[in-house]
Amino acid sequence: LSGGLGGGRAVEKCNVSKLKELTGKVVDSVQYYNLVCRPTLVQTTKRGEDVLLYYEACCDDRDIQGKTRPCSKRVGKDGICPECKKPPLKKELRYTIRGQFGDYCDSVWLTAFNEASETILGMKAEDLKLKLAGGIGGEKLENLLSKLYFFNLLELTVRVRKENFGGEPRTNVACTDAKVVNVKQHGRALLNDIRHMLATR
C-alpha cells in the first residue's frame, strides 16, 4: 500500500488512527503518509481572537540554495519582508490554516499550507478575501466554511518530522498536499481490497 513522492520517497497509506500511532514512532527522519478523510472543522478563533486564514507573502525573486525562486516569506506588519529586508515589489495572499480531518475511525488536527488549503477550502485566498470584504466574517464566515465540512472526500499527503521548539523536541505534523478523491474510483478500490482480503483468508 505504499506509493511514491517526488525524490523517490515512500508514502505509506493509512487511516487517521494509524497515522496517530505512526506519528509517535518518528524519531529523526521525515516521514510521509497518505490518508483519505473529510474536513470536519477549520480553526477561525484562538483564545477568543479571530484567526486570519491567509497572509501576505513576498514574491520577489531571490537566491534560495543556489536557485532563483520567489521568496515566499510572510511580510511583516511594517510591510517589510524579513528575508529580503525591504518592501516587496510583488506580493501574494497565501493560506495557512489549521483544520480537523476525520475518517471512519478517528480525527486529527493538521496545519495545511497554500496549495493544499486551496483544495480543502475550494477557493484561492484572494477569493476568500473578496468574500470577507463583502461582509462575510465572524458567524457568516463560519456558515461559509461549514458548507465544506463532511463534504469533499480528500486524499491528504501528511508530513511528519521531529523539530526543536524552544529547546524542546516536538513532532510537526502538516498537510503538504490535498486532492479531491474520485468517489467511484475510491469505491472500486475498496471493493478490490475486500475481495483480496476474502481471497487470502
pLDDT at residue 166, rounded to an integer: 76
pTM score of the predicted model: 0.84
- What is the distance between the alpha carbons of residues 42 and 198, in angstroms, rounded to a whole number? 39
pLDDT at residue 42, rounded to an integer: 95
Identify whether the C-beta of residue 160 lies closer than 8 Å to the C-beta of residue 26: yes
Residue linked to cell 520577489: 60
Identify whether the C-beta of residue 112 lies closer than 8 Å to the C-beta of residue 174: yes
**Residue ranges of the chain with per-residue pLDDT less than 70:** 1-9, 134-137
pLDDT at residue 1, rounded to an integer: 37
- What is the distance between the alpha carbons of residues 166 and 170, in angstroms, rounded to a whole number? 10
Grid cell listed for 23: 506519528
pLDDT at residue 5, rounded to an integer: 52
